[in-house]
Structure formats: structure tokens, C-alpha cells
Structure 1
Amino acid sequence: MAKQNGLVKIEGTIEDLTFYTKDGKNFVRRKGGISKERIENDPNFVRTRENNSEFTTAAGAGKMLRLALGSLIFKAKDSKMTSRLMKTMSDIKRYDSTSARGKRQVYNGLATPDGKLMLNGFDFNINAPLSTVLFSVYDLDTATGVVTIPNLVPQEQIRYPEGATHVSFQCAVLAIDFETEASELVLSNIENVPVDLTPTSVTLTPPSVPATTGVTLFLLGVSFFQEFNGVQYSLKNEEYSVLQVIEVV
């Protein structure tokens, strides 16, 4: 690897040289490595092909989950959420004990208790895990999807950003089949309460729990608002907005 000097900086490939920028500096290197055709056909690279296949499977499962959750993720995510989720999916497929190497599937892994456990507790915003924002017990009824937070004292039991005057809670139920790619998302009501010392019981009730041949994910979200002249404005603070998978069945 060599640095580019001179007034004209090039990016891209010319013959067997690749020009690129990294950390604000310009570099050039000679193209090399193993050809794609060799990786796809050479018997010596069978393990590489198997790993690539399962990598693609895990990435596809992560994308499927992100799309199924839609706008919920945009409210609470970190910059590395996609790669973290893909790693989780890769870990889950390892619990597929029925498929051959290179063909292990996320949906087979999720059919096991250990596979479900890998996804349970996943925080879409690693900057705001649920356990570091909500310091109160809550209850989930998996038969109805109802989440209750009894006797919550927001100012004492919630870590909230500076300027927040209100906090909102919402739960969701996602039925998703990673084999057929079918999914259905059901959202609860939103409970918006002042950040003060008044004890409040929060009840989040989805209208239904959708059926699935795959798995059902129960999620809890927390977001913050600032009231100004009677209007609440969202505080898009990545250190506090929460979305967590609280149960997988």
C-alpha cells in the first residue's frame, strides 16, 4: 500500500491499480487476491462457499426482520444495528442441527429454545438498552400481547434526556416466518405520561396477537418528548430511545 502524492487525487481502478481514500488520506494499491470464478468452482474453497452461503442467509434474515418492523426501527436504532442483527442471526442459525454445513437456516435455529434465547433481549439501539432506561418491573401476557408497567414514577424510574417533559410507551407484536417470509405487525396504543413524580400505571394493549407458522416477537419501545406551548416535540436522542425484543415464542 502506497500513498498518493501530487495535486490530482484519483479514486477508482486503472488497469491493476486501485486508488482510494481512507481517513482523509489517499492511497494506491495493486489489485490482487483470488478470483471470484476460482472461489465459486475450486474444490479447495468449498468451506469458503459454505461460509458465504450462510453469511447471505443471516444477512437476509436480518433484512427481513428490519423490513417487517418498518418505522419502529427508525425511532430507535444505532449506527451498527444492521451488523449486530446480522451477527445475531448468524448465531441463531448455528442451532440448526438438521441442515448440512453451508445450508443451515435461521428459521430452523429459531425453532429451538436456545435459538429463541439468542434473539430475546435484542436492543435495536445499543446506546439505550431497555435495562438502562426503564428501572421498573413490567409484565407481558404473551396470550394477549398486553404489557403493563404498574405504579411507575417516571422521574424516579426512568433515565430521560435533558429537556424531556413526557415519555411515551408502545409495545408491538410481530408474527414472522423466516422460511416463507410472511409477517404481520400489530401495534398497541401509545401511552404518553409526564416526567414527574406522579405514580402512573401504564397499560399497552395490542388489538390482537397474529398467528404464524414461524415465531412471535414481543417488543417494547420508549421515546421522549418536550412540550412547548402545549405541543409535544419528539426528542430524537439516540442515547435514550428504546426498542427491545422482550420475548420470543
Structure 2
Amino acid sequence: MAKLNGLLKFEGTLENLTFYKSADGHLVRTKGGVSKNRIMNDPAFVRTRENGAEFGSIASSGKLLRNAMGPLLVKAKDGKLTSRLVKVMGQIKNMDSTSKRGSRNVAQGLTDPNAKLMLKGFDFNARAPLATVLNTILSVDGVTGEINLASFNPMEQMRIAAGATHFSLQAGFLNLDFATGVFDLTTSDEVIYPLIQGAISPVLTPSTIPVGSGVNFNVLLIEFFQEINGINYILNNGAYNVLTILKVE
């Protein structure tokens, strides 16, 4: 695979070259390879089929988590979230010690407590990791989903988006069953604070406890706003918006 650096950028196939656009720019690769029919039926490609099945499984698991987080995720994500999440899901799949090769999956992998730790601290927006935006201590109640933030001064303990006059905090409590695809997401009220000197000690409590027998995720969302004539407008770039998994049980 090579990168196309010329002035003329195009997509498509020319003789044995395929030109396409990706997140990394305009790329070119050669055509060819083994036929799909041979890959699906030739015993020599059994490992390829197994790897393909497991990759499909982890990709589906990543998509399921993104969908379940939808109302929050739309406010804080980056362009490479899908690939980053697939990488983590692949590591969790590898923790499945009971399924046969080709059938290992995320649901079974998460029965290992160490697999849950792989998702703890995951930032859905890599441009704004929680640790670089907010500098205070957080505690999470795994039963109620309540998030407590230690007393902090936003003007001194936050990395503030350019032009922002306000910010908001919101807790999310998700129960997700990766085996069945069933999920339930509840949230706290979104509380908006002015960016002024002075300490605050927010307590964020989800409206209800999510129903389900899957894995519980506690997440925190931080957004930035600009007030104009008494109305708070969401900053469009979202570069500093945070959505982070604080706890997985």
C-alpha cells in the first residue's frame, strides 16, 4: 500500500491499481489475491476463515457498544473511534478461554475480570482524554451509577475549549449484553456550569438503574458551550468534549 502525493486525487481502479481515500489520505494498492470461493472452501484457508469469523464478531461488538452509547456518543467521538474500539474488542476476545478457535467472542471474554479492565478508562474521543481535560478525583457508585466529583475550580483544573463560557457534566449508566445485543442506557440530568472562579462539587445521579443481565458501564460526558445573549450554544468542533468509561462491572 502506498500513499498518493500528487496534485491529482482520484478514486477507482486503473489496470491493476486501486486508488481510494481513507482517514490517512489518498492511498493506492495493487489488485489481486485469492478468490473468495477458494477462501471459503479450501481446507488450506481454515485459519483464514476462523480469523475472519472472529474479526466479524469483534467488529459487531464494537458497533453494539457504539449504538448503545448513541445519545452520548454523538456529542464526543473521534474519526478513528471504530478502529480503536475494534482493537480493544480484539484483545477482550482473546481472553475467551472456553470457545473454540473461530468462535471466540467478546461476551465470553468479558467473563474474565481482567478483560473488563481493558475497557475501563476508554476515551471515545481520543482528542480529549478525560485525564487531559479534568483534574480532580472522581468516585463511582457501581450500584446506583452516581458519580461524585471532588471539589474543584473549573478555571484552574480544566482544559477549556477556546471560546467556551460554560460546560456541562452528565453521567451515563449502561447495561449491555454482548451475547444477546440487548442494552439499556440511563442518564443523569445534564448540569451546565459557568466557567468562573470558584469551587464546585458536582454529584451526578442517573434517573434509574438500567435493566439487564449484561455488563454495567459507568460513563462521564463533558461538553463545552458558548453563551450568546443568554443562550448556550454547543461548540461545534467538539475537540474538547469528553466521553469516558469510568467503571466496568
After TM superposition, the score normalised by the length of structure 1 is 0.89
Cα contact 2:12–2:20 (8 A) shared by 1:
no
Q: Match for 1:91: what amino acid?
A: Q
1:110 aligns to what?
Answer: 110
1:6 aligns to what?
Answer: none
- Would you say 1:215 and 2:215 are equivalent positions? yes
Which structure has the greater CA radius of gyration?
1
1:20 aligns to what?
Answer: 19
- Would you say 1:168 and 2:168 are equivalent positions? yes
1:5 aligns to what?
Answer: none
1:58 aligns to what SS in structure 2? Answer: helix
1:56: how far off?
Answer: 0.2
1:242 aligns to what?
Answer: 242
Q: 1:90-129 to 2 correspondence within 5 Å?
A: 90-129=90-129
Q: 1:36-75 to 2 correspondence within 5 Å?
A: 36-75=36-75
1:4 aligns to what?
Answer: none
1:103: how far off?
Answer: 0.5
Post-superposition CA distance 1:191-221 (Å, at most 9, x none): 1111111111211111222232220100001
1:20: how far off?
Answer: 3.0
1:143: how far off?
Answer: 1.2
1:150: how far off?
Answer: 2.9
Q: Match for 1:20: what amino acid?
A: F
2:44 aligns to what SS in structure 1? Answer: helix
* Distance in 1 between residues matched to 2:248 and 2:198, nearest whole Å: 32
* Distance in 2 between residues matched to 1:121 and 1:115, nearest whole Å: 13
2:202 aligns to what SS in structure 1? Answer: strand
1:205 aligns to what?
Answer: 205
* Distance in 2 between residues matched to 1:91 and 1:21, nearest whole Å: 29
CA change 1:161–1:44 in 2 (3 A) is same
1:21: how far off?
Answer: 5.3
* Distance in 2 between residues matched to 1:92 and 1:28, nearest whole Å: 31
Percent identity of paired positions between Structure 1 and Structure 2 = 47
* Distance in 2 between residues matched to 1:145 and 1:12, nearest whole Å: 49
1:12: how far off?
Answer: 4.3
1:74: how far off?
Answer: 1.4
1:119 aligns to what SS in structure 2? Answer: coil
Cα contact 2:19–2:26 (8 A) shared by 1:
no
Q: 1:82-97 to 2 correspondence within 5 Å?
A: 82-97=82-97
1:10: how far off?
Answer: 8.7
Post-superposition CA distance 1:165-214 (Å, at most 9, x none): 11100010010001011000001111111111111121111122223222
Post-superposition CA distance 1:40-79 (Å, at most 9, x none): 1111111111111110000000111111111311111111
- Would you say 1:194 and 2:167 are equivalent positions? no
1:134 aligns to what?
Answer: 134
1:28: how far off?
Answer: 8.8
Cα contact 1:191–1:203 (8 A) shared by 2:
no
Post-superposition CA distance 1:62-111 (Å, at most 9, x none): 11111111131111111100110111111101110000111101001111
* Distance in 1 between residues matched to 2:121 and 2:18, nearest whole Å: 43
* Distance in 1 between residues matched to 2:208 and 2:18, nearest whole Å: 55
1:75 aligns to what SS in structure 2? Answer: coil
Cα contact 1:78–1:238 (8 A) shared by 2:
no
CA change 1:123–1:10 in 2 (3 A) is closer
Structure 1 segments unaligned to the other structure (5+ residues): 2-8
CA change 1:10–1:65 in 2 (3 A) is closer
Cα contact 1:187–1:206 (8 A) shared by 2:
yes
* Distance in 1 between residues matched to 2:10 and 2:205, nearest whole Å: 57
Structure 2 segments unaligned to the other structure (5+ residues): 2-8
* Distance in 2 between residues matched to 1:75 and 1:150, nearest whole Å: 24
* Distance in 1 between residues matched to 2:41 and 2:202, nearest whole Å: 59
